[in-house]
Amino acid sequence: MNLELSEEQEAVRRLAEEFVRREVTPHAAAWDREEGVDRGIVKRLGALGFLGLTIPEEYGGSGGDHLAYCLVTEELGRGDSSVRGIVSVSLGLVAKTVAAWGSESQKRAWLPGLTSGEALGCFGLTEPGTGSDAANLTTRAVRGPGGDWVVNGSKMFITNGTWADVVLLFARTSDAPGHRAVSAFLVPADTPGLTRRTVHGKLGLRGQPTAELVLQDVRVPADALLGPEGKGFSVAMSALAKGRMSVAAGCVGIAQAALDAAVGYAGEREQFGKPIASYQLVQELISDIAVDVEAARLLTWRVADLIDRGQDFATAASQAKLFASEAAVRCANNALQVFGGYGYIDEYPVGKLLRDARVMTLYEGTSQIQKLIIGRALTGISAF
Ligand code: FAD
């Protein structure tokens, strides 16, 4: 793999870095306190092409490869994980899945809006009773006499849920013994019977709209089915495999922000008559962060390279997500230690980094689930 960025990749990385410095970082603490990022950011992300990365231009996308997508995701995560998550879900889990599995008319109907930021997508897999064991979901879609579907059930912890225009929804379409099956649907969020409730009080990602969705006799047409009937679990797993690269890249951004903050503060803060950066134990904290940043970044770039070369990447994506999410927590925690008591109050950025990092080890498969995926690939034995 060539670790030198091309001119195009470096240009898109710089564009993202400047956008974040100008329009995200100055507001991140306030958005966190107020539990809501400025919704106008979605259209600005779209205008810069950040919501259309890797999507073909004929559907409104901005093209580019997966490494460019990682670079933008890292910069967004460095500025504010709430903003990064909005992109990772609407582009990474929804638009990319429509591009991969959608019919021509579904791509034409949804991708121009999703890539421009006129529309936002959310990914409805988790339910109150099924998280890690997603294949056991109980939301049900029953086909009516006219070929349309009637959906009943509920979804929990849905990122972008209250803002989304379209829900990529997973529902059980067969319970027949030996043929239990899940299907994927593209459901406009304003469909009668679909209600949403904001989930308040999150530890981190507080600026991000997270919702519970309730579906009561929601009627969707036959052509809302995404991919073949009964193949919804494959649709979900393929989305999450690529999604894990995006989460890992966001974690690299958190870890890099922790490094920047720790180095900056250690050089300014004096104790015992010298900058704390001059003490070996503080340098140990900083060097541990730096090694985690580099290792997480290289594992993440490796996934992008495998995807762009058409190779198997799912195990590598689990490895990158597992390592990068745990590393982001360690890095933010080490940076907080460098800040001492000031790290514990929200006038300084490191406490937010730690809170935002913590969820990365939980969603899109917990750390334990990633280990089971990696273990299954290595041993051939499923330990789920
Ligand atoms: P559980 O599955 O109940 O797990 C609890 C614990 O048990 C964990 O430690 C887990 O690792 C462990 N465990 C479970 N099974 C095993 C096993 N077989 N072996 C070992 N340990 C096991 N979901 C969506 O569909 N769309 C979204 O947009 C979305 N966004 C989210 C945003 C936030 C802020 C949060 C918090 C969650 C989000 N989720 C979303 C849901 C997320 O993916 C789930 O929370 C996650 O998959 C874990 O499920 P759970 O919370 O039900 O935990």
Ligand 1 atom with the smallest distance to the CA of 359 is: 36
Q: Which of 74, 75, 326, 364 is catalytic?
A: 364
Residue type, 154: S
Cβ–ligand 1 contact at 362 (below 6 Å): yes
pLDDT tens-digit readout, 255-280: 999 999 999 999 999 999 999 999 99
From 227, 209, 247, 53, select the one nearest 120 (Cα to Cα). Answer: 209
From 61, 90, 68, select the one nearest 12 (Cα to Cα). Answer: 68
Lookup: tokens for 63: 């093209």
**What confidence score (pLDDT) does residue 31 get?**
97
**Helices 314-339 and 232-268, packing angle to 10 deg:** 30
**What confidence score (pLDDT) does residue 178 get?**
81
Q: Which residue has the tokens 């409104």?
A: 60
- 112 CA → ligand 1 middle, Å: 31
Q: Which ipTM did the prediction report?
A: 0.99
From 82, 78, 86, 72, select the one nearest 21 (Cα to Cα). Answer: 78
Ligand 1 atom with the smallest distance to the CA of 155 is: 25
Ligand 1 atom with the smallest distance to the CA of 93 is: 28
Taken as a whole, the chain contains a residue count of: 384
pLDDT tens-digit readout, 36-45: 999 999 999 9
In terms of DSSP bridges, do strands 194-198 and 210-220 run parallel, antiparallel, or are they unpaired?
A: antiparallel
Lookup: tokens for 302: 């490796």
Ligand 1 atom with the smallest distance to the CA of 383 is: 18
From 373, 376, 363, select the one nearest 157 (Cα to Cα). Answer: 363
Pocket test for ligand 1, best of 86, 93, 126 (most atoms within 8 A of CB): 126
364 noted as active-site residue: yes
Q: What is d(CA 332, CA 70) in angstroms, rounded to the nearest whole number?
A: 20
Pocket test for ligand 1, best of 208, 366, 367 (most atoms within 8 A of CB): 366
Could you tell me what percent of the chain has a pLDDT over 90? 97
The CA–CA distances, whole Å, from 355 to 168, 204, 211 equal 27, 5, 19
Pocket test for ligand 1, best of 170, 247, 363, 367 (most atoms within 8 A of CB): 363
DSSP string, 112-161: HHHHHTSS-EEEE---SS-SS-GGG---EEEE-TTS-EEEEEEEEEEETT
What contacts 369, CB < 8 A, 6 or more positions away? 132
* Model confidence band, residue 1 (pLDDT cutoffs 50, 70, 90): confident
pLDDT tens-digit readout, 51-108: 999 999 999 999 999 999 999 999 999 999 999 999 999 999 999 999 999 999 999 9
Q: For 35, phi and psi rounded to 5 degrees?
A: 55, 50
Cβ–ligand 1 contact at 90 (below 6 Å): no
- pLDDT of residue 145 exceeding 90: no
Give, for 196, the enclosing helix (H) or strand (E): strand 194-198
DSSP state of 191: S
What contacts 205, CB < 8 A, 6 or more positions away? 81, 82, 85, 159, 356, 359
What contacts 175, CB < 8 A, 6 or more positions away? none
Cβ–ligand 1 contact at 235 (below 6 Å): no
- 365 CA → ligand 1 middle, Å: 6
- pLDDT of residue 225 exceeding 90: yes
pLDDT tens-digit readout, 296-346: 999 999 999 999 999 999 999 999 999 999 999 999 999 999 999 999 999
Q: What is d(CA 326, CA 314) in angstroms, rounded to the nearest whole number?
A: 18
Cβ–ligand 1 contact at 79 (below 6 Å): no
Q: What is d(CA 285, CA 277) in angstroms, rounded to the nearest whole number?
A: 10
Q: What is d(CA 350, CA 258) in angstroms, rounded to the nearest whole number?
A: 7
